[in-house]
Amino acid sequence: MSYLEETFGLSGKTVLVTGASRGIGQTAATGFAKAGAEVYILSRSKAAETVCIIEALGGKAYALTGDVTSETDVEAAIQEIFDRSGRLDVVFNNAGICIHEDTFSASIDDFRRVLDVNLTGELIVARAAAKRMIAHGIHGSIINMASMSGTIVNIPQWQASYNASKAGVIHLTRSLAVEWAPYGIRVNSLSPGYIATPMSVDTPQELKDAWMPLIPLHRMGEPEELLPALLYLASPASGYTSGSDVIVDGAYTCL
65-122 per-position pLDDT tens digit: 999 999 999 999 999 999 999 999 999 999 999 999 999 999 999 999 999 999 999 9
Domain count, the chain: 1
Nearest to 56 by CA among 89, 23, 34, 41: 34
In a domain, 224, yes or no: yes
In a domain, 254, yes or no: no
In a domain, 11, yes or no: yes
Q: How many helices (H) and strands (E) does the chain have?
A: 10, 7
140-184 per-position pLDDT tens digit: 999 999 999 999 999 999 999 999 999 999 999 999 999 999 999
Strand segments (E) across 19-85:
38-43, 61-65
In a domain, 29, yes or no: yes
Considering the candidates 21, 43, 147, 149, report the single residue annotated as catalytic: 147
Residue 162 annotated in active site: yes
What is the rounded CA–CA span in Å between residue 192 and residue 93?
Answer: 14
In a domain, 253, yes or no: no
Check pLDDT > 90 for residue 200: no
Task: For helices 23-34 and 227-234, give the axis angle rounded to 10 degrees.
Answer: 60
Considering the candidates 166, 194, 235, 252, report the single residue annotated as catalytic: 166
pLDDT at 3: 85
In a domain, 202, yes or no: yes
What is the rounded CA–CA span in Å between residue 184 and residue 26?
Answer: 28
Q: What CATH number is associated with residue 189?
A: 3.40.50.720
- pTM to 2 decimals? 0.97
Residue 147 annotated in active site: yes
Considering the candidates 40, 62, 162, 252, report the single residue annotated as catalytic: 162
* Mean pLDDT computed over 18-36: 95
In a domain, 193, yes or no: yes
In a domain, 51, yes or no: yes
Residue 63's domain comprises 3-248
Residue 40 annotated in active site: no
